[in-house]
Amino acid sequence: MPKAEKKAYLHDTHRLCDPAQTLAAVRPHLAGMGITRIANLTGLDRVGLPTVMVTRPNSRSVAVSLGKGLTLEAAQASGVMEAIETWHAERVTLPLRLASFQDLQKDALVADVERLPRVTGTGFNPQRRMLWIEGTDLATDKSHWLPYEMVDTDYTSPPCGGQGAFPRTTNGLASGNNLAEATCHAICELIERDAITLWHHAPAGPRVDPAAIDDPRCRVAMDRFAAAGLQAGVWDITSDIGVAAFHCMICETGSRPGHIGIGSGCHPDRNIALLRSLTEAAQTRLTYISGARDDLDPEEFTPSASAERAEYVRSLLTRTKAVARLQDCPSFSSTSFEEDRAWLLRRLRAAGMQQVLIVDLSRRDLGISVVRAVIPGLEAPHDDPDFIPGGRASRTAEASI
């Protein structure tokens, strides 16, 4: 087993190296991946938290990726790595296997399909042949096969060799400076999306008391919102898994019109999780202001839609009190991603997640680590148009009645 490398960058997220080093390492590959431009969007809004857009015109999914951070270089690295990971997932080169679930499980280990998220419109037929891709279960270090349609993100055609029974999203897709870093980012994203879905299936609890936010980096973001005349609310959405997760919403004060911002973040270190939710809220607001993303419905830019979203956020801020203590949220800090990964696996196992499946999509000739994580039992994003609540969301909703 390779020796664990120490994290060298701990500012607005955790990475093995400084964003400038990451950008220098990937820059020679950008043109080959179709990345044509890295544009600074920060000045389009008055908040001032660095946000960039990365364009990839011939993308097979979305043509624009967004990146955020406390510095412009951090935002550039964030956006570029998002574009790179989707490029990898659009061009999967790993071997595939055509078989029915019923036949496959006779001679191979397979993902727990009963606990995978489902979508509306079709059911899963265990007797029907489909394409499967091989991954590794981090809980046992054994190979497992999982539905290829949950890994591939080439949206220019229908699911290749799939049944259309499972979500085709980028949820759990992540990149990094090494495999452990990418894996931790992917796992945290799945835990984050699960936490948001559970939060939306229960009445909103109290907001985090802003006076209790003492991390200087988070204070910078909060102070920028206040200076820009925006209302901000943060909710602790940490689930039973026990990995810090937060949800942030920002909107114009009073009844002024304008775009809202919604962001979420999940990380073993609660201050990093909180900061990621704040910077993502600023990024989302700039996404609407710039109109850069090609996956946004034009209806979302109508005055009535903007007013409806703003009213939703203001209503939520009015209905909830800012009395939750940030210090009550769990936190874990380590010097390496290997330690983070081991801790995340323990938290998932304690919450009943028996499989943590990782598909390594990295290209050896590029030297960039990209993985797709799938964790049977966790919920899919609640705002997907074909979302079906799984067991965790259904139990949460029933408990809140």
311 membership: H or E segment, kind and range = helix 303-319
Rounded mean pLDDT of 54-62? 96
pLDDT the model gives residue 161: 87
pLDDT the model gives residue 1: 55
Rounded mean pLDDT of 9-15? 96
Phi then psi dihedrals of residue 55, to 5 deg:
-100, 140
Report the alpha-carbon distance of residue 105 to residue 97 in Å, rounded: 12
**Is residue 177 exposed (0-12), middle (13-18) or buried (19+ Cβ within 10 Å)?**
buried
**Residue where the block lists tokens 């265990």:** 126
Q: How far is CA 373 from the centre of its chain?
A: 11
DSSP three-state, residue 317: helix
DSSP three-state, residue 326: helix
Q: Which structure tokens are listed for 207?
A: 């907001």
Neighbouring residues of 175: CB distance < 8 A, sequence distance ≥ 6: 81, 82, 84, 85, 88, 182, 185, 368, 369, 370, 371
Q: Is the pLDDT of residue 70 over 60?
A: yes
Report the alpha-carbon distance of residue 231 to residue 228 in Å, rounded: 9
pLDDT the model gives residue 2: 63
* Mean predicted lDDT score pLDDT of the chain: 96
Rounded mean pLDDT of 258-263? 95
pLDDT in tens, 293-339: 988 889 999 999 999 999 999 999 999 999 999 999 999 999 999 99
Q: Which residues in 18-125 belong to E strands, given as ranges?
A: 37-40, 51-55, 64-68, 96-99
Report the alpha-carbon distance of residue 335 to residue 338 in Å, rounded: 9
Closest CA to 281 of 241, 344, 235: 235
pLDDT the model gives residue 97: 97
pLDDT in tens, 104-153: 999 999 999 999 999 998 889 999 999 999 999 999 999 999 999 999 99
pLDDT class of 157 with cuts at 50, 70, 90: confident
pLDDT the model gives residue 257: 81
Rounded mean pLDDT of 371-380? 98
pTM exceeds 0.85: yes
Q: What is the 3-state secondary structure (H, E, C) of 155-193?
A: CCCCCCCCCCCCCCCCCCEEEECCHHHHHHHHHHHHHHH
pLDDT in tens, 288-303: 999 989 888 899 999 9
Q: What is the DSSP string of 334-392?
A: -SBHHHHHHHHHHHHHHTT----EEEE--BTTTTBEEEEEE-TTSPPPTTSTTB---HH
Report the alpha-carbon distance of residue 145 to residue 136 in Å, rounded: 8
Q: Residue 343 to residues 188, 250, 318, 332, 350: CA-CA distances in angstroms?
A: 12, 32, 37, 8, 11
Q: Give the range among 39-53, 102-116, 146-160 with minimum mean pLDDT.
A: 146-160
Neighbouring residues of 297: CB distance < 8 A, sequence distance ≥ 6: none
Phi then psi dihedrals of residue 144, to 5 deg:
-135, 150
Q: Is the pLDDT of residue 256 over 90?
A: no
Q: Is the pLDDT of residue 158 over 90?
A: no
**Is residue 31 exposed (0-12), middle (13-18) or buried (19+ Cβ within 10 Å)?**
exposed
Q: Which structure tokens are listed for 223?
A: 């102070």
CB of 64 closer than 8 Å to CB of 53: yes
Q: What is the 3-state secondary structure (H, E, C) of 115-169?
A: HCCCECCCCCCCCCCEEEEEEEECCCCEEEEEEHHHCCCCCCCCCCCCCCCCCCC
Phi then psi dihedrals of residue 235, to 5 deg:
-115, 135
Report the alpha-carbon distance of residue 353 to residue 368 in Å, rounded: 28
CB of 301 closer than 8 Å to CB of 237: no
Rounded mean pLDDT of 160-189? 96
pLDDT the model gives residue 254: 86
Q: Which structure tokens are listed for 231?
A: 């209302």
Q: Which structure tokens are listed for 325?
A: 């203590």
